[in-house]
Amino acid sequence: MGKENKAKTAITPTRAEDYPEWYQQVVKASDLAEHSPVRGCMVIKPWGYALWENIRCVLDEMFKETGVKNAYFPLFIPKRFLEREAEHVEAFAKECAVVTHHRLEEGPDGKLIPAGQIEEPLVVRPTSETIIGASFSKWISSYRDLPLLINQWCNVVRWEMRTRIFLRTSEFLWQEGHTAHATPTEAMDRTLQMLNIYEKLTGNYLAIPAVKGEKSASERFPGAVNTFTLEAMMQDRKALQTGTSHFLGQNFARASEIKYQSAQEEELYAWTTSWGVSTRLIGAIVMTHSDDDGLVLPPMIASSHVALMPIIKKTVDRNTVMDFTQTLAGELRGQHYHGRKIEVEIDDRETGGARGWDWIKKGIPLRVEIGPRDVARNSVFVGRRDRGPREKESVPRDQFIKTIVPILDDIQKNLFDRALRFREKNTTEIDTREDFYAFFTPQNPGNPEIHGGFALACWCGNPTCEEKINTDLGVTIRCIPPDAEKQTGKCIACGDESARRVVFAKAY
Amino acid sequence: MGKENKAKTAITPTRAEDYPEWYQQVVKASDLAEHSPVRGCMVIKPWGYALWENIRCVLDEMFKETGVKNAYFPLFIPKRFLEREAEHVEAFAKECAVVTHHRLEEGPDGKLIPAGQIEEPLVVRPTSETIIGASFSKWISSYRDLPLLINQWCNVVRWEMRTRIFLRTSEFLWQEGHTAHATPTEAMDRTLQMLNIYEKLTGNYLAIPAVKGEKSASERFPGAVNTFTLEAMMQDRKALQTGTSHFLGQNFARASEIKYQSAQEEELYAWTTSWGVSTRLIGAIVMTHSDDDGLVLPPMIASSHVALMPIIKKTVDRNTVMDFTQTLAGELRGQHYHGRKIEVEIDDRETGGARGWDWIKKGIPLRVEIGPRDVARNSVFVGRRDRGPREKESVPRDQFIKTIVPILDDIQKNLFDRALRFREKNTTEIDTREDFYAFFTPQNPGNPEIHGGFALACWCGNPTCEEKINTDLGVTIRCIPPDAEKQTGKCIACGDESARRVVFAKAY
């Protein structure tokens, strides 16, 4: 990130100068979303919402292939439902929007005030285990009703005091899957199956390489027996979760009375799972791929694929250039990129260079300029977002049409490889307490956000050690990778024997 | 509806016996949705949610073809936003969920109580004109920013005291389109363009013939200048709206300060529209097509197209029958029905006749039984949902595969034609006050729901006449059809000269 610093960049500040502010500026310049006048809530603008639609489309198909069906459950959760699972209510009671009245009425001063108090306060869902559990307990009576595999796409609210667009907002969009099974093995298989789907989404579509593993007890979903996660490294070397899947054991089945009669006519509690990803993923896309010129979108999930920019300096050229552009757009739109129609923007604003920079900042994978000379030569002038803004080349029109799919694939691959290299470069096995503390101490005093990255270090399994590191450094265990058991050594905090090497990092 | 009354039916009561209860029982037996433990909210089950997904898919494509883009706006609306448009706030303040606190805390008795009072109460959106208006006023500054064409798919809440599943629930799902234009003509064109899209959805997909027209002032959307509507006739002859589109004039632009600078550099208010349909449409599907045996789904929008039911009485037959069934399913799924993959259910439960009735009650367009004799003859035994439950025929397997698309089309057409005939039979031009009152007086004392239907009668345009008819009969003006101006006569209420014949009906 050092070199770009000196060049003129489209985004101010650069990543190296002020990463958090760079992030806000990239989101703004790309027109993905903005803060709303409602505290903590965001407005997702069309360019950002298209990313969510594409994510939804990909995930929804993968879910359905495994037998999951979509449904919809109430926005409101009665207070008593939330109280049914002790850890769960403790975690969410602190940050929930509470509906207490069902109308507004003129007060003594003529202004509207809340009226019609509701008997039992309703909580706007922060997650739906308890309300979906109430349905599951009605729907399930026999082993023949299992497994029950349900997903919902919806909004949820977790009241946040300090918000950051996409990463931490009071309202966000997500999907939450909820399943019930007859055996713990089956439930655990499902938990991991869904984690694998998230890994496929993250890796193949978002071009984000993520580390897979289990959460330590302190980082588990409140009420879960095991939480599994994908942890990706952002460009400030902090970790961001790109999917979590929870094995809930029988905790929520007991809380919601989800019972079934087995083939042997015993009455048993079911085993449940839940799993979800949210609009936070858009923040992960921004922070993984973007550069000091703005957003960079992976083609597989991009809001659109190509921007065509006709260049018309003389009125006499207008018709030929526009016809050429329209015909090209039509031919491109007639093609598919991995099952999705190629999406083409025609930008005929007459703004000169600013127009090209707009599309760079919006992160569109391909920019195509078309002037009278290009038309005459039957060629187009192409810029790729994974290359420098001025690195453009003239390509014969027909060749461009024929090769657009492999070009997009190449961009997709480059973004993934670049992110993987970055993560590998900033991931280190650390074996001494001293090195560990140094690793997480900012190297650049001007930018306190930048530190070492992911540390693979031993941990004895004691929550006290975990807590000490968090208190001292603001560093947490992001996950325990599946092969962790094999790596023995000494706990980075207390020096005791440790049977596993885990991933430590600062995190969003 | 008289004849079926005597036969044994799958749904009790029949439509003729008790229409509202029949409706609830059809919804229940088809597994579309159920009431939730949260007052006024419903749980949309997978079979019902699939209908909404199909509606969304069809509409979304039609919207996007006209340049509309999807976005997402906050769930919460600050009270002061709602207050900006006088008619609007008056209508919605009466029935809104109000968030007043942002956490739950242990009270003196150890129970959780609302805590962390919010400075300004937030209303859970009943509709989003005011909050989207706040964004529009930021996004629009020049005539070059117009038209702005935005849609959002979301949940909304209107607190209801008396709820009926799909038809009137406190929370429902919908889409709401919001557009801003430079001229009133352009805004009015868009208003009508979207109404036409709803007409296409209703007619071509839901197989519901609807009457198109304008609302009278008293039935307009609160704050609108004109509201246009589609009115369909249910089988109890009451009207149900299947889409509304509003020309908002400059009312909401003034309320939210949506201004633009014209090419002549004048600062002007924009002209806005809004338009929406909701999960209420599912209620319309149920009430238009279903019969005394349960739900009937139009193939174009059906949750699934075909149920295959292998009949295995001897273990020795299992493999051949199941193989035959699986292969058939695969070949059917490889085909498309109007752009959508043909969806096939395999129901291998061994429940005999009950299984067939389950699918009848669920309204699937085609039921296919496959026994060892069918396999031997390479044929299938097919029942269509638009025919009697026992009217089934043996069809060569290959012919069935080849003709499934035209068969589904034929069912779709039959449902539309049947609904159209029903509406035409129950729509009458009425010219005297006496006939009008008789028309709306229940004919069957045992079933007070059943009355005449749609009355085409003259109305002088005076709201007092409209109100009198509503008070006397519970009948309202559903719409003023576009050709209404040409039909003169005497007002059905006051006898004065009237320039138009309008549609009167009882309504949901």
Cα B479 to its chain centre, rounded Å, is: 17
* Peptide bond before residue A13 is cis, with ω within 30 degrees of 0: yes
- If you count them, how many residues does chain B have? 508
pLDDT digits (tens, 9 = 90+) for B430-452: 999 999 999 998 766 556 556 78
Count residue pairs from A and B with Cβ separation < 8 A: 186
Instruction: Name the residue facing B98 among A37, A42, A104 (closest C-beta).
Output: A104
Q: What values do phi and psi take at B62, rounded to 5?
A: -65, -40
* Tokens of residue B401, six digits: 């595969």
- pLDDT score of A275 more than 50: yes
Mean pLDDT lowest among A81-85, A453-457, B25-29, B49-53: A81-85
- pLDDT score of A445 more than 70: no
Q: How far is A53 from chain B (nearest CA, A)?
A: 9
Instruction: Name the residue facing B43 among A73, A94, A154 (closest C-beta).
Output: A73
pTM of the model: 0.95
Concatenating the DSSP letter of every residue in A53-78 gives: HHHHHHHHHHHHHTT-EE-B--SEEE
Could you identify the residue written with the tokens 């990255």? A453
Q: How far is B330 from chain A (nearest CA, A)?
A: 14
CB contact under 8 A, A38 and B171: no
Mean pLDDT for all residues in chain A: 94
Q: In sequence order, what are the beta bridge partners of B252?
A: none
Q: How far is A380 from chain B (nearest CA, A)?
A: 26
Average of pLDDT values for B321-334?
Answer: 97
* Tokens of residue A459, six digits: 């941990």
Residues of A in contact with B69 (CB under 8 A): 46, 49-50
Helices and strands: H and E segment counts in chain B: 14, 27
Instruction: Name the residue facing A46 among B69, B100, B103 (closest C-beta).
Output: B69
**Backbone conformation region of residue B220, classed left if phi is above 0, alpha if psi is from -120 to 50, else beta:** beta
Q: Which residues contact A257 (CB under 8 A, 6 or more apart)?
A: A137
Q: What values do phi and psi take at A472, rounded to 5?
A: -70, -45
- Strand A366-370 relative to strand A336-337: parallel, antiparallel, unpaired? unpaired
Residues of B in contact with A124 (CB under 8 A): 75, 99, 124
Answer positive or negative: Cα dihedral of A417, A418, A419, A420.
positive
Concatenating the DSSP letter of every residue in B155-184 gives: EEE---SS-BTTTB-SEEEEEEEEEEESSH
Concatenating the DSSP letter of every residue in A255-277 gives: HHT-EEE-TT--EEE-EEEEEEE
Residues of B in contact with A78 (CB under 8 A): 37-38
CB contact under 8 A, A135 and B43: yes
- Strand A454-458 relative to strand A427-429: parallel, antiparallel, unpaired? parallel
Q: How far is B123 from chain A (nearest CA, A)?
A: 9
User: pLDDT-based confidence at B198, cuts 50/70/90?
Assistant: very high
Preferred mutation among A72, A256, A358 to probe B, highest tally of B CBs within 10 A: A72
Instruction: Name the residue facing B78 among A38, A150, A159 (closest C-beta).
Output: A38
- pLDDT score of B1 more than 60: no
CA closest to B41 among chain A residues: A74
- pLDDT score of B5 more than 50: no
Residues of B in contact with A45 (CB under 8 A): 71
CB contact under 8 A, B74 and A43: yes
- pLDDT score of B2 more than 50: no
pLDDT digits (tens, 9 = 90+) for B77-114: 999 998 888 888 888 999 999 999 999 999 888 889 99
CB contact under 8 A, A103 and B98: yes
Residues of B in contact with A131 (CB under 8 A): 36-38
Distance from C-alpha of B300 to C-alpha of B206, rounded to nearest angstrom: 7
Q: Which residue has the higher pLDDT, A108 or A43?
A: A43
Domains and CATH numbers, chain A: 41-81+127-289 (3.30.930.10), 306-423 (3.40.50.800), 427-505 (3.30.110.30)
CB contact under 8 A, A78 and B135: no
Average of pLDDT values for A186-198?
Answer: 98
Q: How far is B109 from chain A (nearest CA, A)?
A: 15
Predicted local confidence at residue A350, as pLDDT: 77
pLDDT digits (tens, 9 = 90+) for A113-168: 999 999 999 999 999 999 999 999 999 999 999 999 999 999 999 998 888 999 99
